[in-house]
Amino acid sequence: MITTHNTEIKLFAGNSNMALAESIAKELKLTLSDVEVGHFSDGEICVHLNETVRGRDVFIIQSTCAPVNENLMELLIMIDAARRASAGRITAVIPYFGYARQDRKARARDPITAKLVADIITSAGADRVLTMDLHAAQIQGFFDIPVDHLIGGPILYKYFKNYVAGDDFMVVSPDVGSVSRARSVASKLNCPMAIVDKRRPKANQIEVMNVIGDVKGKTCLMVDDMIDTAGTICQGAEALYENGAKEIYACCTHAVLSGPAIERIQNSPIKKLVVLDTIPLSEEKKLDKIEVLSVAKIFATAIENIYFDKKMSEIYDN
C-alpha cells in the first residue's frame, strides 16, 4: 500500500495491543519496525529503537488500556526516543485513549486528567495524534497538536445491516449520554430509535429504568462507545427484555470489560455483543456471545492518508 514518498515510514508498536499493530502493518504491506520495550530490574520501562528514524515519518501504535499507566509510559518514552533520534514527524496512534472519561471537573478539586495526558503526550514530542471514538469529542481540543478522530460506527452498523428487517429492528441508546451516537447509527440503518432512561425517584431509592419508545416485539441493538463494568448496558438490556423486546444485541467500540463485566454480560439477556479490537481481549474475556471486529483496515488507511497528506474524509466515502 505504501509506495514512493520523500521520507520512509517507520511503524513501531508498544506492548498494549500487538495483535492490532501487526494487523495494521499487514494492511499496509509493511513489517513493524524493530524496537525493544522492556524493564530495568527496578521496574522502570526501558525502550531502544533498533532502527534509524532520522528524518522518517514515525507512527507509534499504542492503546492506553489496562494497565493504563504502564502503557501510557511506554508510549511517552517511545515518543521521546523517536524525537531525540531526530524523527521527521511523530504520530501517536492511540486506538483507545485512556483517561478520556476524566474530561471535566465533576466535583470541586477534581483533576481534568484527559487534558493532563494530552499535554504530556504533546510535551513528549508527538506531532499528531490518531485515535478512535474519544469518550468526549471535545478532548480533541485538549491537544495543541492536530488530532485525527476516527469513528468506529461505520464498522458496526455495516455488520448489523443484515439484521435489519422491516420495522422490527430498533436502535437503542443505553443512556441519555449516548443518544447522539445511537441516533447516527439509527439514521444509517434507517430504523427507529429508543432510549433507556435511568432515574432515581427519591433519595436512597433504587434506580428505575424507563424505556422511551415502543420496543415490544422488536429486535433491539444497544449502541455505546465503551463498555467498562457493563452495568449500564446490562441494566438497559433487562429493561428492554421487561418491556417485551424480542431479541437484544449490543455493540461498542472499546471493550474495557473490567470488574464484574464478563459475568454480567454472560448472565444478561444480550444475545450477542459486538466490539472492536481497539483493546485486546484476554482469554478469560472471550465469551461465545462476544464477537470482535477489527479496526486494522481503517487505521491503516488513516496512517496512509497522514503519510501522503490526503483527506481523512475519504476513509468513509465507501
Residues noted as catalytic: 198
Residue 59: helix, strand or coil by DSSP? Answer: strand
Residue 297: helix, strand or coil by DSSP? Answer: helix
How far apart CA 135 and CA 150 sit, in angstroms, is 12
How far apart CA 291 and CA 270 sit, in angstroms, is 12
Range 295-314 burial, b when 16+ CB lie within 10 A, else e: bbebbbbbbbbbbeeeeeee
The terminus-to-terminus CA distance of the chain in angstroms comes to 18
Q: How many CA atoms lie within 13 A of 81 on its CB side?
A: 22
How many separate helices (H) and strands (E) can be counted in the chain? 8, 14
Cβ neighbour number for residue 286 with a 10 Å cutoff = 10
- Do 215 and 245 meet the contact criterion of CB atoms below 8 Å apart? yes
The residue assigned the cell 422488536 is 218
Q: Which of 195, 161, 192 is nearest to 178 (CA)?
A: 195
